[in-house]
Amino acid sequence: MNNYLFIYKNEDKIEYGKVLNSKLSSYFVKKFSDFEIGDIYRTRIVKKVDALHCFFVELKNGKNGFLDFKDTIGEVKVGDVIFVEIYKINAGEKAPNVSMNFSVSSMFSVVSNKNREDILISKNLKEHNFNIDKIKNIKSNFSVKLRTKSVNCDEDTLLQDIRKNVEKMQEIVDSLNNLPVPKLIYKKENFLEDFLFENEKYPCVLNDKELYKSFKDNKFLKNELKYDEEYSPKYDYNIGVYIEGLIKKTVEIDDINISNLSEKSILNLYSYISQSVFLFKGSVFDNITLYNDYPKEKVKEILKKVGLEKFIPEMDNPDFVGENGINLSGGEKQRISIARALIRETDILVADEILSNLDNETALKIERELLNLNEITLIAVTHRLFEETLTDFDEIIVINEGNVVETGTFKELIDLKGFFYKIYNLSENSKIPSK
């Protein structure tokens, strides 16, 4: 076979991907770690930290989850038993991010715990007629979303799929007062079915007998399946060498292989700016230094660099920032987070969606200021596309669904008229340059 899918499962992980023209096209690894995105826990709120604008909830093995105030539903307090879903796994020992908005899903529908009877239909399905009344008759206080794949199933199958998810959701909700707490009560495990469904024209080789049987019994999966208990992508003559290369791939910074460094040493190589800025009631000086020992002259210098020189006269005022930065604008909050990163004097600055909550004028101004910083490597993750600044980046890496699809300068990507051109043309800030 020159074009095929593969699924390899062992006790530690699942490896899966696609081979096109005998070359590795995509490759994914899902490890069976302590926590996984989509896991739903019945848990107890154990701590409230106003300075971080969050609660901490108990998950398992003595580890907690980070519940931002914005991810709560209704009034909650320390000691309350609630349900949460993990939506982000963080590196190292950092707590995973959790939300009180949770859902159960299957191939054709998603049922969430929102207390309303919404029926959401994907834009891709608007032309198809669904019997909404029959869906409404599946009594629930939950929100139902029809997945794009539902167009491929008959009405009875769709209703059965929704009913199953509603029943599971009701079962979860009804277990609120059960013991033990904390407890893992739901895992999303349909990612492989999605993978096969989305690539149904390709055959698939897999090594796990139980997976093979479950896929064979699924009438909506059209893939030709080949069971081979000896199969491993590592020993696949088409892709084995590429897989091995990915596993052993090194990342170097200034000719240093960071795989040989401790996590703490790696963290000292770069500074990180998040889209969510946490500020606490205190002075500008303390919010920038985080109580580390930096001289005041250095802080003044940084304030000028980020365009906050007007804060210098008041930088020691303990009431200036306010609780959660209530006295500051969105742009001022983000500039303080930039100052917090710059004061560490690392050579690399990672800006992760820092423009997402800002108006266009402020966002553009801040991005320009970052690009004007000397002697620093800027890595910016963004969905905000401004021609005025995109042209100043040395390289743009375009990622779609976890895969790198295009790389190049702004001009090269526009001239290519590929994926980047399409998403840029759809951007509210776009200005397709004339030839």
- We report the CATH number of the domain holding residue 87 as 2.40.50.140
Same domain, 323 and 207: no
Residue 139 has pLDDT above 80, yes or no: no
Which residues make Cβ contacts (< 8 Å) with residue 201, sequence separation at least 6? 222
Same domain, 280 and 339: yes
- Give residue 247's pLDDT: 65
Same domain, 260 and 379: yes
- Quote the number of domains for the chain: 4
Residue 23 has pLDDT above 80, yes or no: yes
Place of tokens 């790389």: 407
Q: Is residue 146 part of a domain?
A: yes
Same domain, 79 and 136: no
CA distance 102 to 111: 9
Q: Do the beta carbons of residue 347 and residue 377 sit within 8 Å?
A: yes
Q: Is residue 427 part of a domain?
A: no
**Res. 67 pLDDT band, cuts 50 70 90:** very high
More confident: 273 or 206? 206
Same domain, 107 and 73: no
Residue 122 domain boundaries: 103-164
Tell me how far apart the 2 most distant CA atoms of the chain are, in Å. Answer: 72
- Give residue 260's pLDDT: 60
- We report the CATH number of the domain holding residue 12 as 3.30.420
Among the candidates 99, 128, 147, a domain finishes at: 99
Q: Is residue 70 part of a domain?
A: yes
- Give residue 435's pLDDT: 39
Q: Is residue 400 part of a domain?
A: no
- Give residue 233's pLDDT: 93
Amino acid in the structure at residue 427: S
Same domain, 320 and 353: yes
Q: What is the DSSP string of 288-351?
A: HHTT----HHHHHHHHHHTT-GGGGGGTT-TTSS-GGGTTS-HHHHHHHHHHHHHTT--SEEEE
Q: Is residue 435 part of a domain?
A: no
- Give residue 268's pLDDT: 75
Q: Is residue 235 part of a domain?
A: yes
Q: Is residue 395 part of a domain?
A: no
Q: What average pLDDT does the chain have?
A: 85
- Give residue 126's pLDDT: 63
Find the mean pLDDT for residues 35-63: 91
CA distance 124 to 169: 26
CA distance 105 to 187: 10
Q: Is residue 376 part of a domain?
A: yes
Q: Indicate the pTM of the whole model.
A: 0.53
Q: pLDDT of 111-137, one tens digit each?
A: 998 755 577 776 666 667 777 788 888
Nearest to 37 by CA among 89, 83, 99: 89
Same domain, 217 and 267: no
- Give residue 298's pLDDT: 93
The winner for highest mean pLDDT among 92-106, 135-149, 171-185 is 171-185
Same domain, 127 and 140: yes
Q: pLDDT of 345-355, one tens digit each?
A: 888 889 888 88
Q: Which helix (H) or strand (E) holds 151?
A: none
